[in-house]
Amino acid sequence: MKWADRTWCELPRDLREADCAAILPVGATEQHGPHLGTGMDFILAEKLCEKVSKRTGAPMLPTLPYGCSLGHSRRWPGTIALQPITLITIVKEIGDWAYHSGVRRLFIVNSHVTNAAPLRCSLEMLRAEHDDMMVAVVNTATISERVRAAHFADAEDWHANAAETALMLAEAPAIVRTDLLPLSDDQDRTSGLVFAHPVNRTSLNGVTGFPSRALVEDGRELFDWMVEDLSALIEKGKSEKPPLDFCYFGGGAGTSDKSQ
Which run of H or of E encompasses 236?
Answer: helix 216-238
Query: For residue 195, how many other CB atoms are within 10 A of its CB?
Result: 6
Which run of H or of E encompasses 84?
Answer: helix 84-100
**242 with 105: CB under 8 angstroms?**
no
**Confidence at residue 228, expressed as pLDDT on a 0 to 100 scale:** 98
**36 with 165: CB under 8 angstroms?**
yes
Cα distance between residue 139 and residue 38, in whole Å: 19
Cα distance between residue 116 and residue 111, in whole Å: 9
Local mean pLDDT, 10-residue blocks, the chain (260 residues): 97 98 98 98 98 98 98 97 98 98 98 98 98 98 98 96 98 98 97 96 97 98 98 98 93 52
In the chain, the DSSP E strands lie at: 21-26, 105-110, 134-139
Q: What is the pTM of this model?
A: 0.94
DSSP classification of residue 240: -
Give the torsion sign (CA, 114, 119, 120, 125).
positive
**Confidence at residue 253, expressed as pLDDT on a 0 to 100 scale:** 59
Q: How far from chain centre, in Å, is Cα 173? A: 20
Query: For residue 192, how many other CB atoms are within 10 A of its CB?
Result: 5
Cα distance between residue 15 and residue 238, in whole Å: 11
Cα distance between residue 185 and residue 144, in whole Å: 26
**Residue 228, burial from CB neighbour count under 10 angstroms (0-12, 13-18, 19+):** middle
Based on its alpha-carbon atoms, the radius of gyration of the chain, rounded to whole angstroms, reads 19
Q: Which of 60, 48, 54 is nearest to 23 (CA)?
A: 60
**Confidence at residue 6, expressed as pLDDT on a 0 to 100 scale:** 98
**Confidence at residue 250, expressed as pLDDT on a 0 to 100 scale:** 87
Query: For residue 37, how many other CB atoms are within 10 A of its CB?
Result: 16
3-state class (DSSP) for residue 28? coil
Q: What pairing do the DSSP bridges indicate for beta strands 21-26 and 134-139? A: unpaired
